[in-house]
């Protein structure tokens, strides 16, 4: 019997622990939340008068969706994928160019042209196909960031079948864009979180960073989120890619939604999630996906060689429900005793 289970929930969700200072005459903490890209967002910031920028934020998300959303059939991205448009906008250019850099740095582990494979494996817009080695091989003919380029503001593809998927980078970039907007409006310090991926700017008025709890894998989908460690960050992006909340089960075998663009198959290793700390949200998002493709050994080697990146990996043990953790050398983990 074949059972197909599809669970679409934001991967690992970082838990926000807030602390309010008692000082008088300081900027007010504002919190805004809503739904975007099929997930939840929370924006927290300190502003002199406590002005609420809900309307402005939602309108930025609308613009962003019209450019990069893969769920919106009329977005620029969807039209480019259907070869109905070639001219791009600023959001598109920023994501495309950064994606290419990260594709090169990660030896193709991060590759937005993986879309035909994502679709065929059932994680895109269509149901899962019968995936034979022949089918995988034929789809690999359309995968590879070298098959697409930007020329004078237009997308040029090697063949019409090349398609882009920015799901592994767009949430982090959207968090950066909202932070930029808030800073432009005079906000002191902000944290923008979209489905567990986030960007932060500035220290809080009490001089501390934003506190983010690192989630422990839950026993099941309904268990509450728990954490043992937290980090304090500012002017940093943090994103998590993981499998234990989003996968497909076919004949009792789990299939990851992270696809190795080199082999064409969903990744298989004992890394349950990769959280990456990078200077901005867009980079953190893309590198987190890349680390999930690399698997633990390569991921650790990659992160340790990079001054600008830190990572927190959750690894499955031999026994069901057993976990271990890896924190990169520069990451300062704090516990409840530090609160």
**Shortest CA distance to 289 belongs to which of 98, 60, 64?**
98
Q: How far apart are CA 213 and CA 193, in angstroms?
A: 13
Residues in contact with 221: Cβ distance below 8 Å, sequence separation at least 6, in sequence order = 7, 9, 245
Among 43, 168, 175, 212, binds ligand AMP (CB under 6 A): 168
C-alpha distances out from residue 9 to 222, 246, 272, Å: 12, 7, 15
Burial (0-12, 13-18, 19+ Cβ within 10 Å), 335: exposed
Q: Among 41-49, 106-114, 146-154, 323-331, which window interacts with ligand AMP (CB under 6 A)?
A: 106-114
For position 165 contacting ligand AMP by CB under 6 A, the verdict is: yes
For position 170 contacting ligand AMP by CB under 6 A, the verdict is: no
CB 284 within 8 A of CB 238: yes
Tokens 């991060």 identify what position?
110
Tokens read off for 119 = 């679709």
Distance of closest approach, residue 326 Cβ to ligand AMP, in angstroms: 18
Residues counted in the chain: 339
For position 281 contacting ligand AMP by CB under 6 A, the verdict is: no
Q: How far apart are CA 18 and CA 118, in angstroms?
A: 37
For position 114 contacting ligand AMP by CB under 6 A, the verdict is: yes
For position 285 contacting Mg ion by CB under 5 A, the verdict is: yes
Distance of closest approach, residue 241 Cβ to Mg ion, in angstroms: 5
For position 123 contacting ligand AMP by CB under 6 A, the verdict is: yes
Q: Among 24-32, 119-127, 158-166, 233-241, which window interacts with Mg ion (CB under 5 A)?
A: 233-241
Return the one option of Mg ion, ligand AMP, none that residue 233 interacts with (CB less than 5 to 8 A, by type).
none
* Coil, helix or strand at residue 37: coil
Q: How far apart are CA 30 and CA 172, in angstroms?
A: 21
Return the one option of Mg ion, ligand AMP, none that residue 46 interacts with (CB less than 5 to 8 A, by type).
none
Among 118, 139, 271, 311, binds ligand AMP (CB under 6 A): 118
For position 167 contacting ligand AMP by CB under 6 A, the verdict is: yes
Q: How far apart are CA 274 and CA 299, in angstroms?
A: 9
Distance of closest approach, residue 91 Cβ to Mg ion, in angstroms: 17
Q: How far apart are CA 258 and CA 268, in angstroms?
A: 9
Among 76, 179, 282, 293, binds ligand AMP (CB under 6 A): 293
Question: Which spans of this chain sit near ligand AMP (rule: CB under 6 A)?
Answer: 11, 110-112, 114, 118, 123, 165, 167-168, 241, 257-259, 261, 285, 288-289, 292-293
Question: Which spans of this chain sit near Mg ion (rule: CB under 5 A)?
Answer: 168, 241, 285, 288-289
């Amino acid at each position: 019997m074949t059972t197909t289970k599809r669970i679409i929930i934001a991967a690992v969700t970082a838990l926000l622990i807030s602390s309010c200072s008692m000082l008088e005459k300081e900027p007010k903490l504002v919190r805004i939340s809503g739904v975007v890209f099929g997930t939840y967002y929370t924006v927290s910031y300190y502003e002199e008068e406590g002005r609420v920028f809900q309307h402005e934020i939602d309108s930025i998300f609308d613009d962003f969706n019209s450019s990069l959303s893969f769920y919106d059939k009329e977005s620029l991205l969807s039209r480019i994928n259907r070869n109905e448009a070639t001219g791009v906008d600023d959001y598109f250019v920023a994501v495309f160019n950064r994606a290419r850099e990260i594709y090169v740095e990660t030896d193709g582990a991060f590759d937005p042209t993986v879309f035909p494979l994502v679709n065929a494996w059932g994680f895109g817009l269509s149901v899962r196909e019968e995936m034979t080695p022949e089918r995988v091989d034929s789809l690999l003919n359309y995968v590879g960031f070298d098959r697409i380029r930007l020329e004078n503001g237009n997308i040029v593809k090697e063949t019409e079948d090349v398609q882009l998927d920015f799901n592994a980078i767009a949430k982090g970039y959207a968090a950066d864009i909202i932070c930029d907007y808030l800073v432009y409006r005079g906000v002191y310090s902000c944290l923008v979180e979209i489905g567990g991926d986030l960007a932060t700017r500035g220290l809080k008025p009490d001089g501390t960073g934003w506190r983010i709890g690192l989630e422990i894998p839950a026993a099941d989908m309904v268990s509450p989120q728990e954490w043992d460690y937290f980090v304090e960050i500012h002017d940093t992006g943090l994103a998590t890619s993981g499998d234990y909340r989003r996968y497909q089960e076919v004949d009792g075998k789990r299939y990851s939604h992270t696809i190795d663009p080199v082999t064409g198959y969903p990744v298989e290793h004992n890394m349950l999630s990769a959280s990456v700390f990078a200077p901005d949200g867009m980079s953190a998002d893309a590198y987190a996906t890349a680390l999930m493709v690399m698997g633990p050994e390569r991921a650790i080697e990659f992160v340790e060689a990079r001054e600008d990146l830190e990572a927190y990996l959750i690894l499955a043990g031999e026994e069901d429900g057993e976990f271990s953790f890896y924190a990169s050398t520069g990451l300062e983990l704090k516990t409840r005793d530090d609160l």
